[in-house]
Amino acid sequence: MNISITPYNLISVQNKGLFANQNRTSQFQTSNLAPLQQDCVTFGASKKRKVRVEESEEDLKSAEKGLDEEDMSGKIQYATGCDINSECQRDFEKLKFDLKKGLSDVTESDRNPDLPVLRGEAGIHGRVKSAESILQKAPPRQLRNKKEIFKMGDVIGLRVVLQKTSQQDFDKVFKALGKMVTSGKFKVLEVENYRMTPKESYVSQKTLNSFELACQKVGQTPKITSSPRESGYTAVHINVELPSGKLAEIQVMGCDMEKVKDIEDFFYKKRCNKPLADKYKPIENLMLKVMGKTKKDKLTGKISYEKLDEFQVATLDRYIKDSYAHARTIPPKISKKTVDNYFLPIPYSLPKELAFENLQKMKDICDYKHTKGNPFC
């Protein structure tokens, strides 16, 4: 089927008034537009980057005296980030194990290939936020020590990916998650249901109400919200407290959304002037070459790029939004297996190098080289 695309209205989306809603900020200080990638969730976890951190003589003397991080002028050290990463690994593995066990009855297998959750690592995977990412996110939020950083909410992140994305399939998954809540695997603090309209939501209101009742049975009163993201991203984020007291984020989404999400995260990083993981350096260099440096107007907060005009920036935003909408129309079997013809063609007014399909192929190459022992692909 041929798909014709125009720059400003690639796919018509009803209820555009939803986009006028202000982005809410959760109790965990994370914007609705923040991803869970390395910085919250490209769960294509990379090896730790080797970063040389300069320390002043005063910092070294303080460390020798055994002073707590709070006494070091609020300055987060790289070593602190490494400690936090290390301390969270055990909780991450425990939560991952619990999710695999708790969702085993709704996970596909040879005997039951049509169950909602993808089998193996494709279905349940995640990461602990790297030391570098902690150093990036802590200062803007004025988080100055371990205790405060642990409250960031997404230091531990896991993703549950469904091969089938009907509301009936999500109902089965949330029923299983409700049982995990009542058995004490974690305490639910907040549920964020990101969708454009109620009809397009992964989760029905009935399912959310049932999940809330499961939480209330064990004395939990989570905050539950349903709102659109400007980008068109659709998923359910569950912020939880683990038995150890540490916080974690569980993302529940369809495989249709995950591919677009991983590529859109590259654009998010570019928009926020954040570096990509070392293994994605070729993608970072490509974006710098065709987009130029990112600029932000101090008064309006408007984002622009050195090599893209206003029309191209608006078209890029629409391309990302329509890519999310298009992904919801892809049959599950296609979205699981192929990249070709999965993404929307890029509008003629944008550099072809920025096409989602091109960036996905570059990502696959970087991931392959990384797994072969060359982290600087």
Q: Rounded to an integer, what distance in angstroms lies between the CA atom of residue 313 and that of residue 292?
A: 12
Strand duo 223-227 + 187-194: pairing: parallel
For 153-177, b where at least 16 C-beta lie within 10 A, e where not — what string? bbbbbbbbbbbbbeeebbbbbbebb
Structural domain boundaries in the chain: 16-46+74-255, 261-371
**257-285 pLDDT per residue, tens:** 888 999 999 999 999 888 888 899 999 99
For 220-229, b where at least 16 C-beta lie within 10 A, e where not — what string? bebebeeebb
pLDDT band at residue 144 using 50, 70 and 90 as cut-offs:
low
Q: What string of H, E and C letters represents the secondary structure of 47-98?
A: CCCCCCCCCCHHHHHHHHCCCCHHHCCCCCCHHHHHHHHHHHHHHHHHHHHH
Beta bridge partners of 160: 124, 252
Q: Rounded to an integer, what distance in angstroms lies between the CA atom of residue 376 and that of residue 281?
A: 7
What per-residue confidence (pLDDT) applies to 60? 38
pLDDT band at residue 95 using 50, 70 and 90 as cut-offs:
very high
Threshold 0.75, pTM exceeds? no
Least confident window among 54-58, 194-198, 241-245, 341-345: 54-58
Question: Read out DSSP for 102-167?
Answer: HTGGGB--SS-TTSSBPSHHHHEEEEEPPHHHHHHHTGGGT--SHHHHGGGS-SEEEEEEES--SH
| The amino acid at 163 | Q
Q: Rounded to an integer, what distance in angstroms lies between the CA atom of residue 204 and that of residue 136?
A: 36
Q: Are 218 and 182 in contact (CB under 8 A)?
A: yes
Closest by CA position to 249, among listed 80, 54, 43: 43
Closest by CA position to 150, among listed 223, 81, 51, 62: 81
Q: Rounded to an integer, what distance in angstroms lies between the CA atom of residue 180 and that of residue 301?
A: 42
What per-residue confidence (pLDDT) applies to 142? 66
Tokens standing for residue 249: 């984020």
pLDDT band at residue 154 using 50, 70 and 90 as cut-offs:
confident
pLDDT band at residue 76 using 50, 70 and 90 as cut-offs:
low
Q: What are phi and psi of 283, to 5 degrees?
A: -70, -40
For 319-345, b where at least 16 C-beta lie within 10 A, e where not — what string? bbbbbbbbbbebebeebeeeeeebbbb
**22-60 pLDDT per residue, tens:** 344 444 443 333 444 444 444 444 343 333 333 344 443
Q: Rounded to an integer, what distance in angstroms lies between the CA atom of residue 194 and that of residue 198?
A: 10
CB atoms inside a 10 Å sphere around CB 98: 17
Range 78-88 average pLDDT:
83
Q: Of how many residues is the chain composed? A: 377
Q: Rounded to an integer, what distance in angstroms lies between the CA atom of residue 122 and that of residue 118?
A: 6
What per-residue confidence (pLDDT) applies to 133? 78
**285-301 pLDDT per residue, tens:** 999 999 999 999 888 88
What per-residue confidence (pLDDT) applies to 332? 57
pLDDT band at residue 85 using 50, 70 and 90 as cut-offs:
confident
Strand duo 156-162 + 247-254: pairing: parallel
pLDDT band at residue 230 using 50, 70 and 90 as cut-offs:
confident
Closest by CA position to 44, among listed 134, 122, 110: 122
Range 57-82 average pLDDT:
50
Closest by CA position to 155, among listed 39, 68, 274: 39
Q: Rounded to an integer, what distance in angstroms lies between the CA atom of residue 351 and that of residue 315?
A: 11
What per-residue confidence (pLDDT) applies to 284? 96
Q: Are 155 and 246 in contact (CB under 8 A)?
A: yes
What per-residue confidence (pLDDT) applies to 201? 84
Q: Is the pLDDT of residue 229 over 90?
A: no
Q: Is the pLDDT of residue 356 over 70?
A: yes
Alpha carbon distance, N-terminus to C-terminus of the chain: 36
3-state secondary structure of 8: coil
